[in-house]
Amino acid sequence: MKPWVAGIDPYVPGKARLADRPVVARLASNENPFGPSPHAIAAMQAALTDSHRYPDPASTALREALGAHHGIDPARIICGTGSDEILHLAAGAFAGPGDEIIHVRHGFAVYDIATRRVGATPVVVPDRDWTCDVDAVLAAVTERTRVVFLANPNNPTGTIISAAEVRRLHAGLPTDCVFVLDAAYAEFAEGLYEDGIGLANEHANVVAVRTFSKLYGLAAQRIGWAYAQGALIDAMHRIRAPFNVPTTGQAAAIAAIADQAWAEKTRAHTLQWRAWLAGEIAALGNAGLRAVPSAANFVLVEFPADGPVTAAAANTALLADGILTRYLAVQNMPNCIRISIGTEAETRAAAASLRAFVEAATGTKAA
């Protein structure tokens, strides 16, 4: 094994099932609890009959639909096998051995994997209260920096930096450093975000990355995309797999874009229940729990490091109730649990389980 591959900590996915009991709530992977638009399901069913044919290697119709929806040039769009592939393409096209790639300490786990996979060196920048510290990122830039990955909103913290801060970060980067702005959760950010499309229009070193896995509920179809100026798109096309988005995924994504009412239902539900869940966690504040303000479709809950109410103990209690959330010890966040916003019943079940755990552990009734 190559030494840089040996240095990779394998990605640990969120739990999807339990060996010994039924799952009550599946809140570990920031999925859409309502599933895809019925029109997307119909489009996938229709596309199944073409399964003996390779997919359109250029995702032409999907890029045209994206271009029309976002008001951008389809020729400057690249589609990927999930946005995961796009992140790997960015690392592979713009960095290699001897180069550095920056990401924040509590960022998306794939950035480190994508960096090491191509033999580049990850430069991990401390954040401030779970939020990207733009000054710290800029201070970490060297003449070897080739890529900066930033998820905004960030996963697993849910934090966001303002459009002005995103632009300040970009303005401080050398022009030969590619700024990859990963906006997987952009639609949940209530207008606070800079999704990168404007920046990519203005600057030749910006890759704006989006996904159909979250708002559009198409995680299983693996459809991501990026928008950037021609030279960057050309470089990423050279190294992508030729038939990287399945026919069903391309058809589903086109139908999903056309059904904005379905997307809006998910968005509105997510904002409503995210606020509700944050309130439920705030009510457990006396026991030391804190909901980190979130701009995404999940809430990060911070627990005391010791005492009766730790994240590890809460995780055990949630699992005993059949509730799957993301215990973040695997990401060096042993005091944190991330709870995706599910259906009303799932979200209520998670809050009730957490409350029952806290009350039992502290021997007091919560507020």
CB 277 within 8 A of CB 351: yes
Is residue 155 near ligand PLP by the rule CB under 6 A?
yes
User: Does residue 357 contact residue 323 with C-beta atoms inside 8 Å?
Assistant: no
Q: How far is the CB of 182 from ligand PLP (least distance, A)?
A: 5
Residue matched to tokens 């904005």 = 260
CB of 307 to ligand PLP, least distance (A): 31
Which range, of 17-25, 82-90, 94-102, 169-177, touches ligand PLP by CB under 6 A? Answer: 82-90
**Nearest one of 198, 212, 234 to 84, comparing CA atoms:** 212
Our finding on whether 182 is near ligand PLP (CB under 6 A) is: yes
According to DSSP, the residues that pair with 26 across neighbouring strands are: 324
32 binds ligand PLP (CB under 6 A): no
Gyration radius of the chain's alpha carbons = 21
Give strand pairing partners of 290.
302
Q: Quick one: 37 or 213, whose CB is closer to ligand PLP?
A: 213
| Contact status: 108 vs ligand PLP (CB under 6 A) | yes
For the record, the structure tokens of 244 come out as: 């990287």
Among 93, 207, 219, 228, binds ligand PLP (CB under 6 A): 219
Kindly give the pairing relationship between strand 323-324 and strand 326-327: unpaired
| CA 160/CA 282 separation, integer angstroms | 20
Residue showing tokens 């580049």: 120
Which tokens sit at 42?
């119909």
Q: Does 152 bind ligand PLP (CB under 6 A)?
A: no
Residue closer to ligand PLP, measured from CB, 79 or 309 = 79
Which one of 37, 157, 159, 211 is in contact with ligand PLP (CB under 6 A)? 211
Tell me: does residue 112 bind ligand PLP (CB under 6 A). no
- Shortest separation between residue 69's beta carbon and ligand PLP, angstroms: 17
Q: Which residues bind ligand PLP (CB under 6 A)?
A: 30, 82-84, 108, 151, 155, 182, 184, 211, 213, 219, 224
